[in-house]
Amino acid sequence: MSYLTLSQFLEQKTGNLTPELSQVIETIANTCKKIDQALQKGALAGVLGSAEHENVQGETQKKLDVISNDYLIDALKAHPQVGGLASEELDEFTPAQENGKFLVLFDPLDGSSNIDINMCVGTIFSILPAKNAVTQAEDFMQAGTEQVAAGYVLYGPSTMMALTVGAGVVFFTFDPETQEFLLTSEHVQVAADTQEYAINASNQRHWEEPVKRYIAELQDGKTAVRGKDFNMRWVACMVGDIHRILCRSGIFLYPYDTKDPQKAGRLRLMYEANPMSMLMEQAGGASTTGRVRILEIQPTEMHQRVPVIIGSKNEVELATSYHH
């Protein structure tokens, strides 16, 4: 069977694709191949374990967090079409090329706590149009609706890329023999209904009442108000959880809680919530904070956090309605 390569797909005039945007996406994909190679070697390359310092989020970094971040910065900073880039791992944005057409934001290694136990991790990226010839911090303050492309690379049993350029969602699978990402799923769609949910149940005592109610109804099963049994899944890697939902439906919640009143949510708006929300909506799903559509939020700071309820449309709408 013949598959389109990522390069061939990016030559098509679909969605927001232009030759310049295609070049940026291909650079991200090629960099993720390097990250994948480092992950595959694991302990053999001495890349496991802690880097023994914290990132801007106050989280202890893994060695591969730092390596992945450096790979992406080096590749994108030199790219002629990139005006600036921002990483979840760094406090300030990194200026790149004058007159670059795009801004790139990324979480270099989502779920990095999984690295040392050889479970799935991923890279998330978001691409915005550049606003000025010389990029300023405020140029990144764009709502998620302004994204021209978004996606992730999942490093799992097989390495896969999910991508949207504003014309639906497609999956690519990395072929280690040819070193190419090959198009293996087109027109990815998320069913409106589901019987799977993902949430970190250890935070239950900190949840707001609408979330407690929603989860309790799922747990009550088919003899109660929902009339069906639900299964719980939790990967501890947003890329893994979102990939499962894109493959077979579901709902993922990282809601607001009172554990740390200074943080509106756990996940970062521009590095995680916005790109995943674009993917989900392009696949027919939905994404809210429980109160508002995530893609419509106007960012106010580089590392802004938001609650996230994302996945199958009917479930997201039901959980959101409980907040109203």
Distances 134 to 7, 83, 290, 302 between C-alpha atoms, Å: 29, 7, 36, 18
58 is in an annotated binding site: no
H runs (alpha helix) in the chain? 6-10, 19-41, 63-77, 209-220, 238-248, 274-282, 313-323
Would the annotation count 110 as a binding residue?
Answer: yes
Q: Are the CB atoms for 125 and 73 separated by under 8 Å?
A: no
Whether 46 has a binding-site annotation, put simply, is no
Q: Does 2 carry a binding-site annotation?
A: no
The answer to whether 111 is annotated as binding is yes
Total length of the chain: 324
**Which 3 state secondary structure label does DSSP give 295?**
helix
Look at strands 196-199 and 251-254 and give their pairing.
parallel
CA pair distance 239, 205, nearest whole angstrom: 25
Confirm whether residue 200 is marked as ligand binding.
Answer: yes
End-to-end Cα separation, the chain, in angstroms: 50
To the question of whether residue 126 is assigned a binding role by annotation, the answer is: no
88 annotated among ligand-binding-site residues: yes
DSSP characters over 54-72:
E-TTSPEEEHHHHHHHHHH
Exposure of 85 in the CB half-sphere (CA atoms within 13 A): 27
Is 202 known as a binding-site position?
no
For the annotated binding site for Mg(2+), the residues are: 88, 107, 109-110, 272
For the annotated binding site, the residues are: 88, 107, 109-113, 200, 272
For the annotated binding site for substrate, the residues are: 110-113, 200
